[in-house]
Copies of this chain bind each other. A is one copy, B any other.
Amino acid sequence: MRVKDEIKQDALFEATVKLINEIGFAASSVSKIAKQASVSPATLYVYHKNKEELLVSTYVRIKQLMGLSVQENFDDRQPIRDILKQVWANIFSFVAEHPAYFQYMEQFSNSPYSDLVNKEEVEAYFEPVIRIILTGIELKIIKDVNFDILSAFIFFPIMALANPRHCKNFELSQENMETAFNLAWDAIRR
């Protein structure tokens, strides 16, 4: 029975991502999502309290997945530059492998729905990375400036590059990834 449950759960997750990406929040109704997931609208309410909770939990799940990806091969005994490069590569991989998740994330986080998210819970997934940057500052490897500014140069350029809505023809190749990281590093290093 639990197997069956998870199949429906997942189907709803994927259907939500797909529909919201394709037609947006305004046009995505519960019944359309249910149809896309091949379940009854009533069934959706077995798994989610209401539409809002469906959308928010979909976002949180994606953030969770991304958080896990980002920390793969994370080894804080390595030099800071190498760790950040690994993180950068991990984000890259996640985005390249799950463009739909990424797109949903971007749309969601720029909408008022994002106010409903427990920010701390989500940020926790990225805590190790944050700690590394702070260490870099302490060790005078990274510029000693406002943390938001640093993260704006580490995380956002890669998000922009990966977002086809912003960079339509950018290729998510290994080479481009490395080139971009060099710019990020030049930006933040002392």
Q: Judging by beta carbons under 8 Å apart, are B143 and A183 in contact?
A: yes
User: Which residue from chain B places its CB closest to the CB of A21 in the assembled complex?
Assistant: B112
Question: Interface size on A (CB < 8 Å)?
Answer: 47
**20 intermolecular pairs with C-beta atoms under 8 Å apart:** A24-B112, A25-B26, A26-B26, A26-B28, A107-B110, A114-B165, A145-B183, A148-B161, A149-B161, A149-B183, A152-B157, A152-B158, A152-B180, A155-B160, A156-B156, A156-B160, A183-B187, A183-B188, A184-B187, A186-B187
One complex includes copies of this chain to the number of 4
Nearest-CB residue, chain B, relative to A109? B165
Interface presence of A22 (CB below 8 A):
yes
Interface positions of A from 110 to 158, Cβ below 8 Å from B: 110-114, 143, 145-146, 148-150, 152-153, 155-158
Q: What is the distance, in angstroms, from A81's C-beta to the closest C-beta of chain B?
A: 15
Closest B residue to A108 by CB, please name it. Answer: B110
Kindly state whether residue A170 has any CB partner on chain B within 8 Å. yes
A165 to B143, CA, bound (A): 24
CB of A176 within 8 A of chain B? yes
Tell me whether A14 is interfacial, beta carbon within 8 Å. Answer: no
The 9 closest A-B pairs by CB, nearest first: A187-B187, A152-B157, A156-B160, A25-B26, A24-B112, A110-B110, A183-B187, A148-B167, A152-B160
Instruction: Give the most central of A21, A152, A180: most B CB within 10 Å.
Output: A152
